[in-house]
Structure 1
Amino acid sequence: MSSQTLPYGKIVPVLLSFVVMGFVDIVGVSTGYAQKEFDLSPEMAQLIPSMVFVWFFVLSVPISILQNRVGKRKVLLAGIGATAIGMAIPFVSFSYGVFLCSFVLLGIGNTLIQVSSNPLLREVVTAEKYPSILSVSQFMKAISSLLGPVLVAILVARTGNWKNVFLVYGVVAICAGAWLARTPIKETHEQASAGFKDCFRLLKDPVIAFMVFAIFLTVGIDVGMNTNIQGLLVSKYELTLEDASLGISLYFFSLLVSRLLGAVILGKMSHIKFLKWSGWLTVVAFVCLMVSPSLETTLASIILVGLASANLFPLIFALTINRTPERSNEISGLMTMAIVGGAVVPFIMGLIQKSAGVDLVFLVPAMAAVVLSFSYRKFVK
């Protein structure tokens, strides 16, 4: 791709929105610290990610309809702004209720970002390069997610207060929003303005319906890993919260590496075959995690889950969008709505942990991975 078809002056500000998007993954570390600080039960602790991801279900379709009228860039800027405000709330007051409110605003902002960023990225790349560039965007998000637990550990050591991570994130969000606001991007507009019925009518298409469900499961797997790695390492191997949180960084590092490699491989390999092998390797990785006998093999299994599952989201999203590009806004809204899987799957895992212990919680994402292993068939002609 030449610089003319992919101008750096436009692509970089859009990619930075994926860095801000990755801030939502601080919910994993925050869940562990909040559970300790507020003395929460497992299901009450898992309510924190639910407060983030439930908004994807509630607002995604209305936002996708709104951005048909006001434009993708304006919606993206609103999402970055909401994220910055959410990061400021814990410094005004700090209690469990206020903490939940902060993550509610973070969830609303992230919904705005998720709905608008992927279609806006599609405006500055060609259809052929979109899957690989989308993997680059997920790589950027993975960098952000990876640095979160590391940044928390550094701030705890230097300042004694893990909540200072919200201050850092807020400043970065403001800078990213300011750059995007100064970047003009010419947007294409769909021929007709879609409504609620038009969006949900797309679910009559069996391929779109299944891939929306696939996004539900994919995000559920990711958030389920993010919010339960700490609990697994603390409960099974008696690590401290600080040491266990680095297990989350290990997971996000594997996501980062896999998405970087994925961006290269997708330029040379069939996207459908890549989706097939990613799904089945994720199943194998979860089996290894559940039967792991030691800390070393558990950490290796966590890495394997990240390597295998990292490209599922961009593959599913890009293959579906490229199949029906003229309905990209509505499909983006439906798929972003499915990110509510990040609220549902971890909550189910929390209930299982309370009744059956930490060893069985990963059976839920393992079963989700089995379903995802068949998603490639929807694109085989």
Structure 2
Amino acid sequence: MANMAHHTASAAPQPSAGGEKFNGEGNTTAPLVIVTLLFFMWGLITSLNDVLIPHLKAIYTLSYVQAMMVQFCFFGAYFIVSLPAGALIRRIGYQKGAVAGLLIAASGCALFYPAASSGYGLFLFAFFVLASGITVLQVAANPYVTVLGPARTASSRLNLTQAFNSLGTTIGPAVGGALILAAVGAVADAASVRGPYLALAGALALLAVLFLAAKLPQIADGDDVPLAGEGQGSAWAHRHLVLGAIGIFLYVGAEVSIGSFLVNFLGEAQIAGLAHADAARYVSIYWGGAMVGRFIGFLVMRAVSPGKALAFNSLLAIALVLTAMLGKGPIAMWAILSVGLCNSIMFPTIFSMALHGLGKHTGQGSGILCMAIVGGAVVPFAQGALADSLGVQASFLLPAACYAFILYFGVKYARMYAAQ
């Protein structure tokens, strides 16, 4: 099972016989740079939410549940838009699909300008439009990573782009803290989001032009060889896919929820008592841990099975979250920030474990897993309800429970394929 990343990469779309001839050995540097920029941009945009949530909460005097509507609208787009995005890309192609995603995301960023003077409702709509564009972008851009070069190095390219995605999530909170939170000081002001998000809209529009002009291969869905004894009727017949979808739902939910509450958690008197602008810098450490962990995981997982690595990271994440819940001061603060390091390998590992051996149902399985990202909408919303009733610190019991299921999935997976 050490080669599962390669196995999954081979199940990805392959160059189409009807398009530009592409054997993976040509000059792919420029297209790969452009695709990597896409991963960086949507990482940065996603983590900016962690800065905007406490900012909007203060401006509009929201409860935690109301503030978490940001993530509900943002990640809810994954659930609603994933299937239409797939249909759109089948109709217009992967390259034009990525361009469409970039332009939709740019429109969402531009909506932040009128939202600053119109109220919280338009902000939520802007988040939904922005996330819809990112969803289309992900469905379109991910396959390019596997075909932009030799198949034997597909997993290393995927790790590279994921690392740049993590770089975006690391930089995002620091940039947002400096441009949005520090700019307003003690006075909450919605207008501070206008400049940064107009700049993002311009950057996304420029990327759309670059992507449209780039010479990229035409790609089409390929087949894979199913595991012996697996169901043949539908991806839903594969138990490990269903468990993996639940795992993705809970993992994304836990990761996003922790990030969403960090600024408020670090502002608690018994934890660090930090101002929002100061706390935002520490959010970058949380997301930066995922970036560092991906490089470590890339090396470690050459020798350790995916299931065991996932189980170990989940167990450590549970211990750290419980420490943050029950502790105080620097111990609680650094415990919750360290969870980012544990998160690093979880998404790609769960994703590849769930898709393993699906054969002709790989495309359907991938769509199901993308829809499961809606956990990023539901779990923060639920933790918001807990924070309103029990307090922010106690509400972290929910992410701990999410990691408990991922621990179960990792252990079950390690046993399931131990003989293979």
TM-score (ref. length: structure 2) = 0.81
Percent identity between the aligned chains? 24
CA contact (8 A) 1:67 1:116 kept: yes
**How many angstroms apart in 2 are the aligned matches of 1:226 and 1:214?**
18
Q: Does 1:62 align with 2:62?
A: no
| Distance in 2, Cα, partners of 1:229 & 1:102 | 23
Q: Is the 8 A contact 2:238 2:358 kept in 1?
A: no
Tell me which residue corresponds to 2:107. Answer: 85
8 Å Cα contact 1:64/1:332 also seen in 2:
no
Corresponding position of 1:346: 380
Contact 2:39/2:164 (8 A) holds in 1? yes
Distance in 2 (CA, whole Å) between partners of 1:133 and 1:270 is 20
Structure 2 partner of 1:29: 51
In structure 2, what is the equivalent of residue 280 of structure 1? 315
Moved more, 270-279 or 34-43: 270-279
- Determine helix, strand or coil for the equivalent of 1:218: helix
Aligned counterpart in structure 2 of residue 140 of structure 1, from 148, 164, 181: 164
1:249 aligns with 2:284: yes
Using a 3 Å threshold, how does the CA distance of structure 1 residues 93 and 356 change in structure 2: closer, same or farther? Answer: closer
**1:6 Cα offset (Å):** 8.4
Of the structure 1 ranges 115-124 and 307-316, higher mean CA displacement relative to structure 2 is found in 115-124
Q: 1:302 aligns with which of 312, 324, 336?
A: 336
Q: Which runs of 5+ in 2 are unaligned?
A: 1-5, 7-22, 185-191, 224-232
What per-residue deviation string (whole Å, max 9, x for no partner) do you get for residues 81-140 of structure 1?
111111111223422122111101112112112322223322335565444433322221
Answer yes or no: is the 8 Å Cα contact 1:214–1:316 preserved in 2. Answer: yes
**2:228 matched residue in structure 1:** none
Question: Structure 1 regions of 5+ residues with no counterpart?
Answer: 193-199
Q: Would the alpha carbon gap of residues 140 and 325 (structure 1) be closer, same or farther in structure 2, given more than 3 Å must change?
A: farther
Encode CA deviations 1:130-172: one digit per residue, 9 max, x unaligned: 4443332222111111112211232248854344321232232
Q: How large is the Cα RMSD of the aligned pairs?
A: 2.7
Q: Which moved more, 1:65-74 or 1:206-215?
A: 65-74
Structure 2 partner of 1:375: 409
Number of aligned residue pairs: 374
Aligned partners of 1:29 and 1:245 also within 8 Å = yes
Which of 356, 366, 375 is matched with 1:332 structurally? 366
Deviation, 1:204, is 2.2
Aligned to 2:213: 182
Contact 1:42–1:354 (CA under 8 A) maintained in structure 2: yes
Tell me, in whole angstroms, the C-alpha distance in 2 between the residues paired with 1:288 and 1:135: 30
Match of 1:44 in 2: 66
Partner of 2:39: 18
**Cα distance in structure 1, aligned partners of 2:173 and 2:103:** 23
1:57-206 matches, within 5 Å, as 57-94=79-116, 95-124=119-148, 129-156=153-180, 160=184, 161-190=192-221, 201-206=234-239
Residue matched to 1:196: none
| Residues 51, 173 of structure 2: 8 Å contact kept | yes
Distance 1:103 1:190 in 2: 31
For residue 273 of structure 1, report the CA deviation from its aligned partner: 3.2
TM-score of the superposition, structure 1-length normalised? 0.89
- CA shift in 2, pair 1:5/1:366, >3 Å: farther
Other-structure match for 1:195: none
Given residue 57 of structure 2, which amino acid in structure 1 is its aligned partner? Q
Question: Comparing 356-365 with 316-325, which one deviates more in the overlay?
Answer: 316-325
Would the aligned equivalents of 2:244 and 2:353 in 1 still touch at CA under 8 Å?
A: no
Letter in 1 for 2:337: I
**Residue 201 of structure 2 aligns to a residue in which SS?**
helix
**CA distance, structure 1, for counterparts of residue 316 and residue 155 of structure 2:** 20
Segment drifting more, 259-268 vs 110-119: 259-268
Superposed counterparts of 1:304-319, under 5 Å: 304-319=338-353
